[in-house]
Amino acid sequence: MMKIILEVVSVFVLFWATEGALSRQDVRQAVEEKREEQLETLLERVMERIGEEDNQDDPAMEEKALATDNVALPIEPVDPDVTVDDKVAPVLPVAKGCCNLASTTVSLGNGRTGVSHALGGVGQVVVAPPNISPVVPCSLRALLKVTFDKLPPCISGCLNYPLCGKSMLRVDLTLSPTSRSGWLFDIGDSVSNDGHSGDGNHQTNDAEVDAPYPNVNVQPSDKCLNTDPPTPRPLTTYANAVQLGSVNRVTLFISNEHVRITNDQGLNRILCHKCLFALNGQADPSSGGVNQDIYIALNRVITGRVDRNGVGVCSARLSWVCPENYN
């Protein structure tokens, strides 16, 4: 900046010297021409200087930009219809590349039939859909079992934000455009969940999320049988969440003591509760052993009762939720 000021002063000195040697008219003409030339030159230099300053690195801005790379994604609000009565797990820093990218897809008779796996797949197929073309599309049935990783010792309670590895399961369901009835799905942590908030006394931890058409119910486990005040059964119902003619896709996010359900008609609800899924190695007072597993029944209930089968799920894709892109 000092250099520019000196250049301006030299211009005026030149003007003064010239004025002493020339006639008044000649001086006036020379001054005008010189002024225009010098002003153009000064303007070019100032613009160049501004451009150079704009291109300089700003360490403070770089630090700020880096700090925003790992900002935690927003968490959906807890369902206002149900009281959250247990601690919500904290959101921990995310390590890059910590995601498990495996997936399993189950096709239930809408032009395709069978089970396919990517990168090792997710879970175990307990009952595979038969290799047939059903008379009624999307009516084949399947049952899968999925095992979760244990959470770090510092975390317990509702995990409403995924950690690295196998901490939150995503289930994407594509529904039939023509026919739906009965139990479209049943997700629970007991091998004998029956779609009505119960099991064959295999587990005290026997919570369920089931879909007797056209609703989705969230059922508490037997840990909440004798509470004061009484725990509602179901904990909540999402009316018409799988309604034919409007809803085509449903997605569920399952983790310890937590479920989130969304659909393509704007449903997006989170429920945390101490009597939801036990997926962190909890001991069980019944004979079911340690809890780290969940069962996913498609077009049926988990226990396989023939009077609680259903029609309407065309395909299901199971994958682990990546904390880097969860929203």
Per-block mean pLDDT, blocks of 10 residues, the chain (327 long): 46 42 46 54 55 44 36 40 49 69 97 96 97 96 97 93 96 98 96 78 86 97 90 95 98 98 98 95 78 95 94 98 90
The CA distances from residue 138 to 111, 176, 241, 306, in Å, are 9, 6, 18, 17
The pLDDT of residue 14 is: 42
Coil, helix or strand at residue 29: helix
The pLDDT of residue 183 is: 97
pTM value is 0.73
**Burial of 322 (C-beta count, 10 Å sphere; 0-12/13-18/19+):** middle
What is the length of the chain? 327
The pLDDT of residue 29 is: 55
Specify the amino acid at residue 306: V
The pLDDT of residue 286 is: 72
The CA distances from residue 221 to 7, 210, 239, in Å, are 84, 13, 21
What separation, in Å, do the N-terminal and C-terminal C-alpha atoms of the chain show? Answer: 50
Question: How far apart are alpha carbons 140 and 135 in whole angstroms?
Answer: 10
